[in-house]
Amino acid sequence: MIGAVPVVLALAFLLTALLYASVGFGGGSTYSALLALSGLDYRLLPMVSLACNIVVVAGASVRFARAKVTPWRGALAMTALAAPAAFLGGLVPVERETFLALLGASLVLTALTMLIPVAQIDREGRGWLIGWARAVPFAALPIGFLSGLVGIGGGIFLAPLLHLTRWRSARAIAATASLFILVNSLFGLAGQIAKSGLSTFAGAMSGALPLLLAVVIGGQVGSLLALRVLPLTWIRWLTALLVGAVGIRLLLGA
């Protein structure tokens, strides 16, 4: 069970959703880290984080679909590979120290991926990467498993690989990452519920309602306004800085 949610934690969730939504992601890894630092039972973290992920990216996935920019064949292929792995990851029991170490490492890796430029990539420096384009979808398997295990969507890892190989346009990649996060979060959450029980999930959600409301607001503001206020690069760097700092703190304390 989650007790009374501190206002500062709800505001941190709102800011996280705003930043991540503005660059096309859900923020699950950071939600988990914030909850870990707040002292919540680590076994509840993935359920709350994945639920928040679903709330943030569901609207974006629908908007991309309506705009007809989602490359359904490729997106569904990668999602189909990742989703069962996410469910299995959610089923796996893990010790607290291992969980926090994996979560901290995921955050640091997330920060590094957000520093990768997503616009134009030097043609001379990316030639060897193009050859790996066909192998990228298979990265969905380990990404999916990690997603279910620690409560993330995985799009933050998949998107940079797709950008580096110029898999599709930037909008198509954002749409793919959004769908990937949504489905992974749903399957990962199903695995977590199967492992911990429906009553545990219900208790966690009843206490997390202020956090869910915060990410709804943050996600909407992020997708509608943030990119008009700050340059995309600034938002990505700021998010990377915050995520990396939290990840390092978790690793030092794991």
Specify the pTM: 0.85
Q: Is the dihedral of CA 140, 146, 147, 153 positive or negative?
A: negative
Structure tokens that stand for 157 in this block: 């890892």
User: What is the distance between the alpha carbons of residues 12 and 18, in angstroms, rounded to a whole number?
Assistant: 10
Each residue's pLDDT expressed in tens, for the chain with a length of 254 residues: 455 578 899 999 998 898 888 777 888 888 988 898 888 888 899 999 999 999 999 988 888 888 898 999 989 989 999 999 999 999 999 998 999 899 889 888 878 877 876 554 444 444 444 445 555 667 888 999 999 998 889 988 888 778 777 788 778 888 898 899 999 999 999 999 999 999 999 988 988 999 999 999 998 887 776 445 556 677 677 778 877 888 888 888 75
The pLDDT of residue 19: 82
AA identity, residue 151: G
The pLDDT of residue 225: 60
